[in-house]
Amino acid sequence: MNRHFWLCVLTLGIWALFVRKPERSTEKEEQPGMPFSGIYLFGPQHVVVGLQELVERKMLKKVTEGEGGGAVDVLFPTPALISRIMEVQGIA
């Protein structure tokens, strides 16, 4: 679309008389195997709940770095999470 626009501008519109205009596809392009993401339906809180569940299941280790107001929570994967990911991917 940009190319068509700029060629029309540069040729003062004459180019558009000789060429068919580009059309946008109206079909929704879906990629097969796209994973479902709950963040679109449930919002960012869905991610927070998922991380909390992984911490409760001992698949993520939560470490607090710093003290007071500057404290930051850092999440590390545990061997249980890594082995589960390898199992699902078919590596193990």
Per DSSP, the three-state class of 24 is coil
Candidates 76, 53, 56; CA nearest to 65 is: 76
Give the model's pLDDT for residue 11: 73
What gap in Å lies between CA 4 and CA 88, rounded to an integer?
Answer: 47
Predicted local confidence at residue 86, as pLDDT: 92
The pLDDT averaged over each successive group of 10 residues in the chain (92 residues) is 66 68 66 70 87 93 86 92 91 74
Look at residue 77 in the predicted model and tell me its pLDDT.
Answer: 94
pLDDT confidence of residue 16: 64
